[in-house]
Amino acid sequence: MNGVGSPEWLAERRTGLGGTDVARILGLSRFGGAMDVFLEKRALSAPLIETEAMRWGKLLEDPVAQEYAVKTGRKIRRAAGFLRHPYYSQFYANIDRWSLAKGTPKRVLEVKTTSIFTADDFGEEGTDQVPGDYLVQVMHYMLVTGTETADLAVLIGGNKHRVYTIERDEILVDDMIERSLAFWRDTQAGIPPAVDGSEASDAYLRATYRDKGTEAPMTSDLAALATMYKGVSAEIAEGEDRKKLLRNEIADAMGDHRWAEGEGVKVTYAERAGASRTNWGELAKAKGITDPDIAEFTTKAEPIRSINVTVKSA
């Protein structure tokens, strides 16, 4: 199968749920939620584009795995392709390595690289204290492969190599199976998860509903939502006004100075170059281009529906 991001890879991923999918479905991932998974499986989201972090993760995968082998004395072997659960065919795993040692059952080895800012999410090396999305991911891989133990080798901040060992938890696995199967059934039927405040939910709603110029019935639930929305909007506006006032008071206190530090606080008030804008119509005229067709070079975004709420006084 072709690599990450290829049409074949994307098509394969849409046929089931992987470890990172389950972590998002359970609301434990830092990289999206259930609606993101729904859009991906229904081919409603933009194709995955490899980020710089993903690229470095792939480049460093082998040295991180090799260091694991040195530290543990276990042998490592690459795993081939997508693995499927023998009964729940909608569950797949694309594991990084097998971890092998004579006289012991084979283990899943998951390899990660992560920012130094996540260091506090990990416990002491050798424990199973790892971030929730990593825990669910390796638990899913143990489910698919029928193994009882998984090791997580992680490079934190580029210079801290840690190894964590995670045992299979049947209570957690059963919960994962139940919730993942329910999600998959709904997804196959085109039933989305409940909307939330994510960009994925916003994208789903924009793609699903258009302004038809009709009146909706004002239910008690809709009225309650609208009233809360209005109240939160007022709180935000008040907070923004307060924020602007504080900003100006800080600027006044700083004067011509660039920074201040002490009392456990650091303030910077640096000057940056202003943004520049080009009047393309005037530029065309100045260069002797008559009757320029600016529209030919103009890209229009999708229509945006905005919400405005008016709450009548009692």
Strands (E), the chain: 75-78, 83-84, 92-93, 97-100, 107-114, 149-156, 160-167, 259-262, 265-268
Pairing of strands 160-167, 149-156: antiparallel
Q: Is 156 among the domain residues?
A: yes
Give SS3 for 166. strand
The secondary structure of 93-124, three-state, reads: ECCCEEEECCCCCCEEEEEEEECHHHHHHCCC
Give the tens place of pLDDT for each residue, 82-139: 899 999 999 999 999 999 999 999 999 999 999 998 999 999 999 999 999 999 999 9
Residues 108 and 254 in one domain: no
Residues 77 and 164 in one domain: yes
Residues 259 and 173 in one domain: no
> Considering 204, 235, 255, which residue would you say is the last residue of a domain?
204
Residues 227 and 197 in one domain: no
Residues 56 and 104 in one domain: yes
Residues 69 and 140 in one domain: yes
Residues 67 and 151 in one domain: yes
Q: Is 283 among the domain residues?
A: no
pLDDT at position 296 is 66
The whole-model pTM stands at 0.77
Residue 71's alpha-carbon distances to 128, 147, 154, 163, 276, in angstroms, are 17, 22, 13, 9, 54
Average confidence score pLDDT of the chain:
88
DSSP label of 127: S
Contact call for residues 37 and 113 (beta carbons, < 8 A): no
Residues 247 and 116 in one domain: no
Contact call for residues 187 and 22 (beta carbons, < 8 A): no
End-to-end CA distance of the chain: 65
Q: Is 245 among the domain residues?
A: yes
| Domain ranges, residue 238 | 221-267
d(CA 17, CA 250): 50
Which amino acid is it at 239?
A: G
How many domains is the chain built from? 2
Q: Is 124 among the domain residues?
A: yes
Q: Is 282 among the domain residues?
A: no
d(CA 140, CA 132): 12
Residues 236 and 113 in one domain: no
Residues 135 and 233 in one domain: no
Whichever domain contains 165, its CATH number is 3.90.320.10
Give the tens place of pLDDT for each residue, 144-183: 999 999 999 999 999 999 999 999 999 999 999 999 999 9
CA-closest candidate to residue 151, choices 115, 116, 104, 119:
104
Contact call for residues 59 and 228 (beta carbons, < 8 A): no
Give the tens place of pLDDT for each residue, 269-279: 888 777 778 87
Task: Please state the length of the chain.
Answer: 314
Residues 192 and 93 in one domain: yes
Measured from the Cβ of residue 20, the count of other Cβ atoms closer than 10 Å reads 19
Whether 307 shows a pLDDT value over 80: the answer reads no
Q: Is 279 among the domain residues?
A: no
Residues 32 and 165 in one domain: yes
Contacts of 243 (CB under 8 A, 6+ apart): none
Contact call for residues 110 and 165 (beta carbons, < 8 A): no
Whether 294 shows a pLDDT value over 70: the answer reads no
Q: Is 113 among the domain residues?
A: yes
Whether 198 shows a pLDDT value over 80: the answer reads yes
pLDDT at position 5 is 57
Q: Is 1 among the domain residues?
A: no
